[in-house]
Chains A and B, each alone.
Chain A
Amino acid sequence: MNAPVVPSPRAAGDAPVLAIDDLTVTLGTRNGPARAVAGVDWSVAPGRTLALVGESGSGKSMTVLAATGLAPRSATVTGRVRLLGRELTTMSEPERRRWRGRHVGFVFQDPMTTLNPVLTVGRQVTEACEEHLGMSRRQARARAVELLDLVGIPAPDRRVDAHPHQFSGGMRQRVVIAMALACEPELLIADEPTTALDVTTQAQIVELVADLRRRLGTAVVWITHDLGVVAGIADTVAVMYGGRIVEQGPVDAVFGAPGHPYTRALLAARPRPGAAGEELAAIPGAPPSPLALPDGCAFWPRCPVRGDARCAHELPPLTPITPGHRVRTFYPLPDGPSTGDGPSTGDGPSTGDGPSIGGGPSIGGGPATGDGRRVSGDREQLHREDR
């Protein structure tokens, strides 16, 4: 990994906080089994941020819910999940419960619905401390004041006794973040924490999490479909489509030289500041239903590259193109500056259809690469400020 190492008080070596290996989740639905997640693996190191990117229904939320035992009852989960070196999947639910909240904190999407309307925020922020750390009600309340102060809520000693509906959306999300960090967990999972907020508030929440990560050394898994946020906050990124990872690697590499047509399309579909008036490139078609996933590449029906029949029937493997940068395609794109030194998959570029990539009219002439570089530039700057 080429991202700078952020020193963390608690990062004992680089052993991952959470490591997921070959995770598969199948949901029992009224219309038959739906494979929401298939063979996903990634890990996140102490003090680092992993961004999990994808459209709605790509399985990114289900991955973390299933990993921590929060999947719906109808779900069948297989694979390995190691949290701080302990295997979660073979744990009994009561045991796993003691790890949730204590070692992993969650921030969910909509702060309007994730807080219980009839309990005071103070109670909700630190009730997990009573459970896991054996705090008394009084200690818990004092800790709640501290935490509310930490996340930037004014007059925390008064607000601690207020109910959620007395807070604005952004303030509620701060409360949720305080709640997630109450027991000083090693890992924070943020599931689209800014999607339900307005733009200015979004930036504040992103900044708050980045800041807290630095101060507390917490590892972060940030689930989002907003690539702008990814560029600003993440060290590594995993792009998911149809329940599988299609591309994974350091943010600079993935943004600078996206190897998968889907990643390129996502980058092209992103609104950019300073590009006002330019038409946004939409990705034609819709994501596949988890009820009827194809045998081959799930993106094939929408793919502007559209390899050949092989893509439709055979699942491309997740192939490394540079160290730490893996792409699930038979035809890793050759046009990125850093792609050249990656090991070629061999037969890919020789296929006639293969290299017609950038010309796909629907993805807007492929300015993705150049833009990616610009973003990674911003990122470096951000990191300099960090230090």
Chain B
Amino acid sequence: MGRFVLRRLLQSVVVLLGVTLVVFLLLQLVPGDPVRVALGTRFDQQTYDALRERSGLDRPLVVQYLSYVGHALTGDLGVSFRSGQPVTTIVLERLPATLSLAVTAVLLALLVAFPLGVLSAVRSGSFVDHAARVFSQFGVSVPDFWTGIMGILLFAGVLGWLPPSGYVALTDDPAGWASHVALPATAVGLVTASILTRFIRSSVLEVLAEDYVRTAEAKGLRRRVVVVRHVLRNALIPVVTVVGVQLASLVGGVQLASLVGGVIVIEVLFAWPGIGRLTYDAVQARDYPVLQGAVLFVATLFLLTNLLVDVLYARLDPRIRLR
């Protein structure tokens, strides 16, 4: 177990170094002088020099990279070209909004996907199964920002039940937060639910075909016992992974399987002040340090979640644990 975790940890560190390199090089690819581009019409020599120096852009490339990594290790991701605030502070401020949205979406998705996926596998070929397959096929094909717009049209426009956009912190006003999170979380959750339904269904189906399930049936166990004790435990091991990755990718603005949409677009649509919205604003404002910082932060979070999920996977599956 320890060696397994250590190996995965080392792998993650290597990948993370690669990630910092890519993020760092992004800035070098900007045509022209990024500081100048960022300042645009607000250009004046004094601000320009100050920013250049604080960003270390006047030093050689290798030195810049090493100092970027060094600073990143101490939690220093540079300062915003716009506000001069530390990027780390800005990113962390936006984290709760994104996390609360992503977690709500995944929970909503699980609420639908778990019963639907399991039922559809256990009663494969039945009406429930067909309905589940149509649902998941449509769900992975629908752009969540379209579902979001349609949701706004129906629940904010026609019915007037929910606010069309905006954000209230969960800690300030739980009810307000809930009414604001409902639409965006449903839009994202629908896609996630379809992916999970599909995944849970095929995972359960696969386990149902295993020899040990036939053994359990040969022992004369009740169907419910066979499904719960022998099928679900095995089928859910891979599902845990996918749920974890889903969560991680939602935070980062993607979904594992559909690999698109996710919260960046939804945050823009619903004016939800999370990391996605921050990234979008940074792109619009050409605030490259913020863009870099947000991307690096999310990629790191993504890697860490994957690592965590792998460890969890190992705990659940004794075959891996003892390897």
B318 and A127 contacting across the interface, CB-CB below 8 Å: no
The reply on A132 being an interface residue by CB < 8 A is yes
Query: How many angstroms from the CA of A165 to the CA of B320 in the assembled complex?
Result: 10
Q: Which residues of B contact A108 (CB under 8 A)?
A: 211, 214-215, 218
The reply on B54 being an interface residue by CB < 8 A is no
The answer, among B214, B222, B318, B322, for a CB contact under 8 Å with A70, is: B214
What is the CB-to-nearest-CB distance from A81 to chain B, in angstroms, rounded to a whole number? 15
Query: How many angstroms from the CA of A263 to the CA of B214 in the assembled complex?
Result: 31
Interface centre among A98, A100, A116 (most CB of B within 10 A): A116
The reply on A117 being an interface residue by CB < 8 A is yes
A131 and B215 contacting across the interface, CB-CB below 8 Å: no
Q: Which residues of B contact A99 (CB under 8 A)?
A: 220
B322 and A165 contacting across the interface, CB-CB below 8 Å: yes
Q: Which residues of B contact A94 (CB under 8 A)?
A: 222
B217 and A116 contacting across the interface, CB-CB below 8 Å: no
B211 and A98 contacting across the interface, CB-CB below 8 Å: no
Q: Which residues of A contact B222 (CB under 8 A)?
A: 94, 97, 131
Query: How many angstroms from the CA of A108 to the CA of B219 in the assembled complex?
Result: 12
The reply on B71 being an interface residue by CB < 8 A is no
Q: Which of A176-224 contact B (CB under 8 A)?
A: 176, 179
The reply on A113 being an interface residue by CB < 8 A is yes
Query: How many angstroms from the CA of A101 to the CA of B214 in the assembled complex?
Result: 12
A101 and B218 contacting across the interface, CB-CB below 8 Å: yes
A115 and B217 contacting across the interface, CB-CB below 8 Å: no
Select the stretch in B96-104, B156-164, B226-234 that faces chain A.
B226-234
Query: How many angstroms from the CA of A106 to the CA of B322 in the assembled complex?
Result: 29
B229 and A101 contacting across the interface, CB-CB below 8 Å: no
What is the CB-to-nearest-CB distance from A278 to chain B, in angstroms, rounded to a whole number? 37
What is the CB-to-nearest-CB distance from A361 to chain B, in angstroms, rounded to a whole number? 41
The answer, among B212, B316, B318, for a CB contact under 8 Å with A114, is: B212
Q: Which residues of B contact A166 (CB under 8 A)?
A: 322
The reply on B1 being an interface residue by CB < 8 A is no
The reply on A110 being an interface residue by CB < 8 A is yes
Say whether chain A's binding surface is mostly helix, strand, loop, or mixed.
Answer: mixed
Known A-B contacts A70-B214, A116-B212, A118-B233; A128 and B318 likewise in contact (beta carbons under 8 Å): no
Known A-B contacts A110-B211, A131-B225, A165-B322; A117 and B218 likewise in contact (beta carbons under 8 Å): no
Nearest residue, chain A, Cβ from B231: A116
What is the CB-to-nearest-CB distance from A85 to chain B, in angstroms, rounded to a whole number? 18
Q: Which of B218-269 contact A (CB under 8 A)?
A: 218-223, 225, 229-230, 233-234, 237
Nearest residue, chain A, Cβ from B316: A118
B218 and A131 contacting across the interface, CB-CB below 8 Å: no
Query: How many angstroms from the CA of A70 to the CA of B234 in the assembled complex?
Result: 21
Query: How many angstroms from the CA of A348 to the CA of B318 in the assembled complex?
Result: 63
A131 and B221 contacting across the interface, CB-CB below 8 Å: yes
B221 and A101 contacting across the interface, CB-CB below 8 Å: yes
B220 and A100 contacting across the interface, CB-CB below 8 Å: yes
The reply on B216 being an interface residue by CB < 8 A is yes
Query: How many angstroms from the CA of A127 to the CA of B226 in the assembled complex?
Result: 11
Known A-B contacts A100-B217, A100-B218; A165 and B234 likewise in contact (beta carbons under 8 Å): no
A118 and B322 contacting across the interface, CB-CB below 8 Å: no
The reply on A163 being an interface residue by CB < 8 A is yes
Query: How many angstroms from the CA of A54 to the CA of B225 in the assembled complex?
Result: 34
Nearest residue, chain B, Cβ from A93: B223
The reply on A141 being an interface residue by CB < 8 A is no
B215 and A115 contacting across the interface, CB-CB below 8 Å: yes
Nearest residue, chain B, Cβ from A68: B218
The answer, among A113, A119, A127, for a CB contact under 8 Å with B219, is: A127
Known A-B contacts A106-B215, A131-B225; A116 and B234 likewise in contact (beta carbons under 8 Å): yes
Q: Which residues of A contact B317 (CB under 8 A)?
A: 117-118
A132 and B234 contacting across the interface, CB-CB below 8 Å: no
Known interface pairs A100-B217, A115-B215, A179-B215; 5 further A-B residue pairs with C-beta atoms within 8 A, sorted by A's residue number: A101-B221, A116-B230, A117-B317, A132-B220, A163-B318
14 contacting pairs across A/B (C-beta < 8 A): A97-B222, A101-B218, A101-B219, A105-B218, A110-B211, A114-B214, A115-B215, A117-B318, A117-B319, A118-B316, A119-B233, A124-B215, A165-B322, A166-B322
- 6 shortest interchain CB distances as A-B pairs: A101-B220, A100-B220, A113-B211, A101-B219, A106-B218, A128-B219
Taking Cβ atoms with an 8 Å cutoff, the residues of A that contact B are 68, 70, 94, 97-102, 104-106, 108, 110, 113-119, 124, 127-128, 131-132, 163, 165-166, 176, 179
Taking Cβ atoms with an 8 Å cutoff, the residues of B that contact A are 210-212, 214-223, 225, 229-230, 233-234, 237, 316-319, 322
